Structure 1
Amino acid sequence: MSNETEKKAYKGKSITVTFEARRCLHAAECVHGLPEVFAPGERPWIRPDGAEAERLAEVVRRCPSGALQYELVD
Structure 2
Amino acid sequence: MGNYRAWHNSQAGMDEKRTGQLILTKSMDDGKTWSEPINITSQVKDPSWHLLLQGPGRGITMQDGTLVFPIQFIDSTRIP
TM bucket by the smaller chain?
under 0.3
More helix by share: 1
Bigger radius of gyration among the two: 2
If asked which structure has higher relative contact order (CA below 8 Å, sep 6+), I would say 1
Could you tell me the TM-score, scaled by structure 1's length?
Answer: 0.22
